[in-house]
Amino acid sequence: MIQGEIGRLAIPARLALLGVFAAAVITMHGVAFSMGGTTPAPRVLAPTMIAGIGHSPASVRRAPNVELAAIGKLPVRQWEPTKKPLSERRLPEDRVRIKMSSAFPMELMECVEVLQDLADSTGAEVEGPIVMPMKRKTWVINRAPKGHKRSKIKYQMQDHTWIMDYYPPIGGGLDALVQVRMPNGVSIKIE
């Protein structure tokens, strides 16, 4: 037989020509293979197409943290418990609210990283940031004292404000918060 004629035969006939006797096992599990050369590979069978072998596509796509627990006839989905936010776990008297404002949000991101690193090193906890709406102030000024009314300069100032809640460790350690170095362009108010 010629190579092209072998490619036209079905999978069991190809395997019989090669002397392999595992055709039933291979076709039962939907495994595709190629003979090499110019022979086209056969179509791959999905596990659901083969007489109920394998899992349904819905069970394969399900998230790993969701499990089904059968109670009676109806399955019930059970999720992992969610962690309570700090504002519900700690008293409001323990909270130190830090209000940071700057013209550039990148400086505020640096402050957030500094506070999170401080909390990790001292055993404190941090919640936030809460991003407040940006405030924008605009000034329009004449270019010259006796200039034309259409010749003006526009100045604009943006103010970004973020709020973070810092919960110090229960044993104390609020002094570490006062000694933290923050970027220059950030104004901080502690409430």
The Cβ of residue 168 has, within 10 Å, a number of other Cβ atoms equal to: 20
Q: Is the pLDDT reported for residue 33 higher than 50?
A: no
Q: Please, which residues have CB within 8 angstroms of residue 100's CB and are 6 or more apart in sequence?
A: 108, 111, 129, 161, 162, 163, 164, 182, 186, 187, 188
Pick from 120, 59, 143, 138: nearest CA to 112: 120
Q: Do 21 and 30 meet the contact criterion of CB atoms below 8 Å apart?
A: no
**Chain CA centroid to CA 158, Å:** 29
pLDDT value of position 58: 52
How many Å apart are CA 27 and CA 44, to the nearest integer?
9
Q: Is the pLDDT reported for residue 2 higher than 70?
A: no
Range with the largest mean pLDDT of 40-49, 91-100, 130-139, 162-171: 130-139
pLDDT value of position 13: 53
Instruction: Tell me the β-bridge partners of 135.
Output: 159
Long-range contacts of 34-39 (CB under 8 A, 24+ apart): 35/6, 35/7, 37/3, 38/3, 38/4, 38/7, 39/3, 39/6, 39/7
Domains and CATH numbers, the chain: 3-78 (no CATH), 86-144+151-190 (3.30.70.600)
Q: Is the pLDDT reported for residue 173 higher than 70?
A: yes
pLDDT band at 175, cuts 50/70/90?
confident
pLDDT value of position 46: 45
Residue of 1 and 161 predicted with greater confidence: 161
Query: pLDDT tens digits, residue range 99-119?
Result: 999 999 999 999 999 999 999
Is this prediction's pTM over 0.85? no
- Cα atoms found within 13 Å of the Cα of residue 85, Cβ hemisphere only: 8
Q: Is the pLDDT reported for residue 133 higher than 60?
A: yes
